[in-house]
Structure 1
């Protein structure tokens, strides 16, 4: 008879040939890869067809040895998860680990991170890590690292090149600038959104332009705007306090005052209004009688001590509550305009409330630009470009 022996299940490192780590080179900068999970650290589980988070930071270094050509690499695992599962506490963990690595001495940090909420994390880190002397780049991938079409290798290599060969300091995102393997964009931490579910160039600067472009083929770095520069004399200031009792509430046709009851215990709310930052507050006929109740409810919540700020559902542009009477009525009810993207405003409000509950101080801090989050003048070139017209 034929004896059949069942093979052991392959581990997540199967197929990765372990090589000795490169020796330390004193002529190269040192980059820390801080691993937080996401698609960039995932592979397809061919038993189920699903993408699962399996690779470690060391595994990725084995897969993409080109990174070590730019710098001495240290790797650490912060946690391993898809970014949709992250909580504000995970932002705090990352901020503390970054501050720790900066203190121990390195020339830059790459955080491998899931793409779904990467722009929330980048905004949080930009606010929590004041006075950064080095670059901290969040790098993700839209396609898992074991796929031939993965963007992981290029994004990581461009990030390592940028850290090693530029004088930029601060938090930014490094992702594909087009569907092709030609350039990566270095994107502002607080003015970037994921605007496509699956394209490799899903991340775009909003109301701003990329900080720089990195040519994958030549390695050339082209800066596109002014930026903070590396400064060894700077000492990073960790400001990681955060109040989780906040929410984003999207307004829509038919929105009623009673829907806000679910947020009565919040300390702060970001309203996503229509257009310039509007809400349905005008009573015009029988169908709109309930609009007056919404304005009353917002005023009641504001007087109760819940700080409420207004952003816009529009992708581009900024709120202006002074143009129409609707906006003026909202301001009288205690609503403050937030001149930021909704995601950045949400993160900033939690960060501000972690520092103060005084209404005057909250309003002052929300209107102070700490990390490039405030939308000032928007240049025509910062609006829709040719890629949106494909």
Structure 2
């Protein structure tokens, strides 16, 4: 059951960097610190500023271009958010660069399961220092969304609140840069998060790879990825989960990988895709070789879910059961 949270505590604004806080340098736009003062100044002239919830500020230091996002930073964000909620914050706005914002939204959807407050990620397509910036509409829109949101992880961008485990960056330039590839209206179902995998569980970084199929793909390419020591692979399949299964060597590599404890999951290359084992023989053979189908999960959600499960210590024997479990609307 979803529920609205109390509005008595402040909202944490967690600044990680990204375009909205950047300044111009000789090398181009670079992340800058000190964004708290800019928010305060902009809020003074913002329409309906009086209706925004009270907030306090924290930052990941140093701020980054989100192209440099890592699993370690996901875990730092998780720690900052959990600590803030334990200190009485009733919601969190994460200011984030747009390049990997959808990945972080998916990761936090799994890392913060059961936390009980709304967490809203946002950013901008143009820096806040530019006159035509979209930063303040997104920052203050995300802040305003907290009191009216249910518990869960969301993305607020260009006047839309999107489901954190279903979102992807759709456009590299447009202000309306993000899309939800599931429900447009974000209402995560948080009733299905197992206690043993909720926000209280500490995770460790995991070596993962995303490997797309394409015409000409060879088994030796997948073998080289496996030799790098990865613990899990997201195979980006065609359509409903097919691949070049006439290559017996590829199937043998997959069988060997899963037998040795490497988690292999399959997602669709289609923006709106559904991996359906059994519809085509070319998909069934991949499943028989050990690939777990990901249903309607996006690439971002599949990668984040694999990180969340393996990082919590779930072994490959238990993985199939958890993989089919709908944690936060990702399926």
Q: Same fold (TM over 0.5)?
A: yes
Between 241-250 and 135-144, the greater mean CA deviation after superposition:
241-250
- Partner of 1:197, secondary structure, is coil
1:345 paired to 2:309: no
- Partner of 1:137, secondary structure, is strand
Tell me which residue corresponds to 1:323: 279
- Looking at structure 2, the residues matched to 347 and 360 of structure 1 have their Cα atoms a distance apart, in angstroms, of 19
**2:190/2:327 contact within 8 Å kept:** no
**2:189/2:329 contact within 8 Å kept:** no
Compared CA separation, residues 317 and 371, structure 1 to 2 (3 A): same
Tell me which residue corresponds to 1:112: 95
Between 364-373 and 69-78, the greater mean CA deviation after superposition:
69-78
- Looking at structure 2, the residues matched to 300 and 336 of structure 1 have their Cα atoms a distance apart, in angstroms, of 15
Between 245-254 and 295-304, the greater mean CA deviation after superposition:
295-304
- Looking at structure 2, the residues matched to 60 and 204 of structure 1 have their Cα atoms a distance apart, in angstroms, of 28
- Partner of 1:64, secondary structure, is helix
Measured against aligned partners, the alpha-carbon deviations of 1:270-307 in whole angstroms (never above 9, x if no partner) come to 1001111111112xxxxxxxx22112211121212111
**2:8/2:90 contact within 8 Å kept:** no
How far 1:355 sits from its partner (Å)?
2.4
Measured against aligned partners, the alpha-carbon deviations of 1:343-368 in whole angstroms (never above 9, x if no partner) come to 11111111111223532311111111
Segments of structure 2 that go 5 or more residues without pairing to the other structure are 1-6, 192-197
- Looking at structure 2, the residues matched to 249 and 242 of structure 1 have their Cα atoms a distance apart, in angstroms, of 22
Tell me which residue corresponds to 2:104: 121
Measured against aligned partners, the alpha-carbon deviations of 1:128-180 in whole angstroms (never above 9, x if no partner) come to 1121222111110011111122110100111111113x14221111111xxxx
**1:130/1:239 contact within 8 Å kept:** no
**1:57/1:76 contact within 8 Å kept:** no
Tell me which residue corresponds to 1:101: 84
| Structure having greater relative contact order (Cα 8 Å, sep ≥ 6) | 2
- Looking at structure 2, the residues matched to 323 and 237 of structure 1 have their Cα atoms a distance apart, in angstroms, of 36
Structure 1 runs (4+) deviating above 3 angstroms are 66-69, 225-229
- Looking at structure 2, the residues matched to 295 and 227 of structure 1 have their Cα atoms a distance apart, in angstroms, of 36
Compared CA separation, residues 318 and 68, structure 1 to 2 (3 A): same
Equivalent pairs counted in the alignment come to 311
Measured against aligned partners, the alpha-carbon deviations of 1:320-344 in whole angstroms (never above 9, x if no partner) come to 1211111111111111101211111
- Partner of 2:320, secondary structure, is helix
**1:168/1:227 contact within 8 Å kept:** no
Tell me which residue corresponds to 1:241: 203
Measured on the aligned residues, the alpha-carbon RMSD in Å equals 2.0
Tell me which residue corresponds to 1:50: 28
Tell me which residue corresponds to 2:52: 70
Greater C-alpha Rg: 1
Of 302, 322, 325, the match for 1:368? 325
